Amino acid sequence: MPDKSNDAHIVQRFDRELEGVRSNVLAMGGIVEQQLSDALQAMADCDADLAERTATNDYKVNRMEVQIDESCTRILALRQPTASDLRLVLSVAKIIADLERIGDEAERIALFVTRIARANCNRRHYTELLHMGTLVKDMLHNALDAFARMDARQAVEVARMDEKVDAEYEAHMRQTMTYMMEDPRNIPPFLDSVWCARSLERIGDRSRNLCEYVIYLVKGKDVRHTTLAQMEEVAR
């Protein structure tokens, strides 16, 4: 039955293509994680060189986004996937867009750290930021892990962490405002720390987005713009 074996061959090739896309997404995620991790390390060590290297590495992430997007388009055009295969391709298209923007935020942080480290580096400005950075790094890592393991429950757990990040961000902003009002000479360095905090908060939001796509992928339900409780309901 040559026809059937030919069909099986096509199915296998299709599965390999999908698997390739999936592992490329994880590779892209790994690079973005490293970018964030390096930006935070540069902040902790006041290391302008590491910060600058991190900022210039962003082109790799951009290139991967375009490549994976092309693979998705090719699969849609040639394989015309349906059901869960279609959901995988559509989720991937969204995931890489958010990953690319997480990379942009990491680049932004690295650029501020470059400036901070070249001017004056007062660790007092950045201790709380680093704590927030660790939280956000965990969020991103666990979101990618939930995607790798197709784990909707873990995705909800990550989304829950975003509330903690938002609370830390608010506290940081209030604290920073007080420092700036105490002594106007503090304004420029603290304003840089405000931008870093803002970027970290955005990375938290985007990691939450990743979790929403994982839930869509696993459960077939769009949970964007829903509450954490509704998300939990769907993931159960």
Residues in the site for a second copy, rule: CB under 8 A?
59, 62-63, 65-66, 69-70, 73, 76-77, 80, 82-83, 86, 90, 93-94, 97, 177, 180-182, 184-185, 187-188, 191, 194, 198, 222, 224-225
User: Please, which residue, 6 or 62, has the CB nearer to a second copy?
Assistant: 62
- In the complex, minimum distance from the CB of residue 72 to a second copy, in angstroms, rounded to a whole number: 8
Rounded distance between C-alpha atoms, residue 166 and residue 172, angstroms = 10
Q: How far is the CB of 117 from a second copy (least distance, A)?
A: 20
Name the residue nearer to a second copy (CB basis): 141 or 219.
219
Instruction: Name residues whose C-beta falls within 8 Å of residue 128's C-beta, 6 or more positions apart in sequence.
Output: 168, 171, 172, 175
Give the CB-side neighbour count of residue 206, counting CA atoms within 13 A: 26
Q: Residue 224: what are its φ and ψ, rounded to 5°? A: -65, 150
| Other Cβ atoms within 10 Å of 83 Cβ, number | 8
Least CB distance from residue 231 to a second copy, whole Å? 14
For a second copy, the closer CB: 137 or 206: 206
Question: Is the Cβ of residue 154 or residue 176 nearer to a second copy in the bound state?
Answer: 176
- Contact status, residue 228 vs residue 163, Cβ threshold 8 Å: yes
Rounded to a whole number of angstroms, the minimum distance from the CB of residue 94 to a second copy is 7
Alpha helical stretches, state H, 80-151: 83-118, 127-148
Query: Minimum CB separation from a second copy for residue 214, in Å?
Result: 16
Which backbone phi and psi does 220 adopt, to 5 degrees? 75, 15
Distance in angstroms (rounded) separating the CA atoms of residues 168 and 165: 5
Nearer to a second copy, 47 or 192 (CB): 192
What gap in Å lies between CA 205 and CA 106, rounded to an integer? 14
